[in-house]
Amino acid sequence: MQSGLKSLDFFTDSYNSRIVQLNEERAKGIRVIGTFCLYVPDEIIFAAGADRIVLCGGRPDTIPVAEQSLPRNICPLIKSSFGAIVDMCCGGDLACPHVALVDLVVAEATCDGKKKMYEILPDFLLTYVIDLPQKPDSPKASEYFLSELWKFAKILENLTGREVTDGSLREEIRLSNETKRLLHRFFELRKRDPPPITGSDVLRVMQKQFFLAPAQFREGVSRLCDEMERVIPDACTGPRIMISGCPMAAGNTKVTDVIEEKGATIVVEESCTGTRSFWDFVDEGPDPWNALAERYLAIPCACMTPNDRRIARIVDLAKEYKVDGVVYYTLQFCHAYNIERLRVQKALKKEKIPMLAIESDYGDSDVEQIGIRVDAFLEMIE
Amino acid sequence: MITAGIDAGAATTKVVLLSEKEIVGYRIAVTAFDFLIAAEDLFSALLSSAGIRREEIDTIYATGYGRNAVIFAHKTISEITAQAKGVHSLFPGVQGIIDVGGQDSKVIVVDEGKVVDFLMNDKCAAGTGKFLEYTAKALEVPITDLGMLSLASRHPAAITSMCTVFAESEVISLRARGIPKEDIAAGLIGGIANRVGVMAKRAGLKDHIAFVGGVAKNAGMRASLEKELGVALFVPPEPQITAALGAAIAARGGNK
């Protein structure tokens, strides 16, 4: 479903210009970092004078390449991303051109599937892994994560030859908070009833957050917000739905599209391609390193335990955005989010908020089955 | 006023004609390649056998996997909502519905005919009528006899594969080992009953449960599921038509 907002064109058309930009940067000696996860602070990358693109794959066509080396029963995001890199390194033409522009992958010890994939990745691309304490509220967890961030900064400094100073880091924090503030403004507008933009359009914008240069992205979102403030919404009707769960990487819009084709409108996403990336700000006080460690370790991902923060966030968002129901979306074989579903379900039940769980891969074979579940869910909450 | 409910199911098509008072007629047929032709043919056949002209039908609602293909219906509703309405009209006190059909199995939590929550099986054939259909073939038993055969078992075989293809080879190896037919049949049915039972418990069903869908016609399956859940199940005389009936009920209040 499309909202008909003209400012959205920028996001659809921006791929090629960004590729040109990245190529020009590389010609000038600027390094490009590829990442896979929100736990890797962009601020440090930019402060070291590098650029970054996120490499999470949402397309099904690179999966068969990955399955030549990886087990079939792991999540499609890991397979799709890995397959794109392998294909690109083996001279194939499946991967999007940006994959070939990466100098270093900075990965992170989150879920088992990714961790073990990162052990194979160095055969294809230079890879560095940041460790993550998985009980974020333990004493010293933040201190340890901070030491990991320092090590990571050193790696970058060696690569770019530019020191990450407190001053440059504070400036990057200020800029990234600006992006976050803008995204808060963007999401705030979706609280209107009816909302001025579809969830499918928002998803396509949010996916670009991980690809475009931050300044470009802010410009686009700012224009979009201005337009949204002017329009009288009429495109988006039906029940207000919240999505919660796994990321929907670029190329993956299946479930969102099905939900909105069935007549509902998605008004908020509790996911890496939704609120998780921008909800919390980084403290702009005198100690930028500690501020980063604390902010990033508090990201409510299901790889953390216990993850009460996420459960509370979901309930809060559901109320704040006045949703009629929650669709709990998981990637097939994503154990962390699949298991956490039960706790989320219980918390929502207590608040009398209906929830539908959908587990899916990147193929189209289950579009009809998902459609039946969504139809029934919408009839149920009407 | 007469309304019609058409359940364009993956395996079979069902049509129900409903007056203000009662079911005027119903028909069930195997769904052919084309959902629309299957529905159209069955609907026409039912009208002529019931002696009702098409103009007398007030509203038509379609449900089931192929519901959107039934373009002559005035509206479509999901089979979950349809089952809830249909079963409620037959057993008003029911709190849960287990529907095992050709392509999927569902567990629906209901309150006064309204859907409160539901679960459906994964996208494979495990726990569905298709599983029984294929494995009955491997056993060389007509699907209609499988249930009665299983009731004669004294030592049900353990069938551990829930994948239809693997279960088929498991059946063949059990046959090769000389395990009696009835024990294999009981093993197959027990496997599905267990799988569906887990789904029912997961949804929180305890008592006042109706069992519908084509597989509910299988006496062995019913007995096995009752054992699994520890309660007697409500099974309508024609468990295959409840979704079509629900669609016809919804059509009463609906708009054309």
Question: What DSSP assignment string belongs to A227-253?
Answer: HHHHS---S--S-EEEEEES---TT--
Let me know: does A96 contact A81? Beta carbons within 8 Å.
no
Do the Cβ atoms of A380 and B79 come within 8 Å? no
Do the Cβ atoms of A368 and B118 come within 8 Å? no
| Euclidean distance between CA atoms B165 and A258, whole angstroms | 30
Q: Is the pLDDT of residue B124 over 80?
A: no
Q: Is the pLDDT of residue B135 over 90?
A: no
Task: Give me A132's structure tokens.
Answer: 């993550």
A236: closest CA of chain B, how far (Å): 21
pLDDT at residue A235, rounded to an integer: 67
Residues of chain A neighbouring B77 (CB-CB closer than 8 A): 375, 379
B52: closest CA of chain A, how far (Å): 31
**pLDDT tier, B166 (very low <50, low <70, confident <90, very high otherwise):** confident
Nearest CA in chain A to B123: A366
Q: Is the pLDDT of residue B162 over 80?
A: no
pLDDT at residue B160, rounded to an integer: 80
B28 beta partners: B14
Of A354, A369, A380, the CB nearest to B123: A369
| Euclidean distance between CA atoms A332 and B99, whole angstroms | 25
SS3 (DSSP) at A187? helix
| Euclidean distance between CA atoms A304 and A301, whole angstroms | 6
Task: Give me A125's structure tokens.
Answer: 């691309």
> Is A342 within 8 Å of chain B by CB?
no
- Determine what percent of chain B is predicted with pLDDT higher than 90: 79
The overall average pLDDT reported for chain B is 93
Residues of chain A neighbouring B116 (CB-CB closer than 8 A): 380
Q: pLDDT tens across A70-119, in order? A: 999 999 999 999 999 999 999 889 988 899 999 999 999 999 999 999 99
Q: What is the side-by-side order of every strand in the sheet holding A240-245?
A: A265-270, A240-245, A325-331, A355-360
- The residue among A379, A381, A382 with the most chain B CBs within 10 A of its CB, best to mutate, is A379
pLDDT at residue B256, rounded to an integer: 60
Q: Is the pLDDT of residue B213 over 80?
A: yes
Q: Which one-letter DSSP state was computed for residue B234?
A: B
Residues of chain A neighbouring B123 (CB-CB closer than 8 A): 365-366, 369
What distances in angstroms separate CA A73 from CA A78, A79, A232, B127, one per listed residue?
11, 10, 46, 21
**pLDDT tier, B253 (very low <50, low <70, confident <90, very high otherwise):** confident
Low-confidence spans in chain A with pLDDT less than 70: 1, 235
Do the Cβ atoms of B78 and A372 come within 8 Å? yes
The overall average pLDDT reported for chain A is 96
pLDDT at residue B164, rounded to an integer: 83
| Euclidean distance between CA atoms A224 and B10, whole angstroms | 44
Q: Is the pLDDT of residue B255 over 70?
A: no
Residues of chain A neighbouring B125 (CB-CB closer than 8 A): none
**pLDDT tier, B123 (very low <50, low <70, confident <90, very high otherwise):** low
Angle of helix A166-189 versus helix A214-230 axis, rounded to 10: 20
> Is A365 within 8 Å of chain B by CB?
yes
Of residues B63 and B138, which shows the higher confidence score? B63
With tokens 């069955």, the residue in question is B42
A319: closest CA of chain B, how far (Å): 20
Nearest CA in chain A to B202: A342
pLDDT at residue B90, rounded to an integer: 97
